[in-house]
Structure 1
């Protein structure tokens, strides 16, 4: 029998735990799902689909930006959000049972 060992580098495990901890909320997972469907979305577009208060949505988006999951781009009065790393969308695939 082969020796049992952890197959993933410790740094990668720490990063995965960091990302998963940040995403551990239905609204945040929904944001990832929506940003997978469109390259970028404004706060008002996200709010329209998610039907959550703007202050709550902004709180989630700020947390996700601070953790490096989403990026922002300001155009006039609008702030657009996009995924920093599309690899995080694999989580959505797992939820759908695709993997």
Structure 2
């Protein structure tokens, strides 16, 4: 995750904090562009509550929407979530760059040894 995205990652974690929003993402994960009404019906969430949850998910970059006539349809967008996962993995392993090994990895206790010199 780049420094430009780190601020947005906070929004991702805030969005994932609510169980209903996680359930919305689970439902959308295997579907492409679901009508908001169908999503609410499937999850048993009233429209006004669903609208608020979808707004938080959309603002966090976890879902995208499109308008088809009078309907708004949603689908999951996992790019930012994937970056957040990499960030968490980097925190767990102690790396600063989740895309690769840490440049400032802890030094080992053993000092490098030179090859033994041959006797004259």
- What TM-score do the two structures reach when normalised by structure 2? 0.58
> Which structure ranks higher in relative contact order (CA pairs < 8 Å, sequence separation ≥ 6)?
1
Instruction: State the distance in 2 between where 1:9 and 1:54 align.
Output: 35
Residue 93 of structure 2 corresponds to which residue in structure 1?
A: none
Deviations 1:22-50 (A, max 9, x none): 11111100110011010221111111111
Tell me which of 41, 56, 60 is aligned to 2:34.
41
Residue 27 of structure 1 corresponds to which residue in structure 2?
A: 20
Q: Matched residue pairs, number?
A: 84
Q: Which has the greater radius of gyration? A: 2
CA root-mean-square deviation: 2.5
Residue 5 of structure 1 corresponds to which residue in structure 2?
A: none
Describe how 1:1-99 pairs up with structure 2 within 5 A: 15-85=8-78, 88=81
Unaligned stretches of 5+ residues in structure 1: 1-7, 90-99
* SS of equivalent residue, structure 1 residue 55: helix
- What TM-score do the two structures reach when normalised by structure 1? 0.68
Contact 2:40 2:46 in 1 (8 A): yes
Contact 1:73 1:79 in 2 (8 A): yes
Instruction: State the distance in 1 between where 2:66 and 2:8 align.
Output: 25
Unaligned stretches of 5+ residues in structure 2: 83-120
Shift of 1:74: 0.5
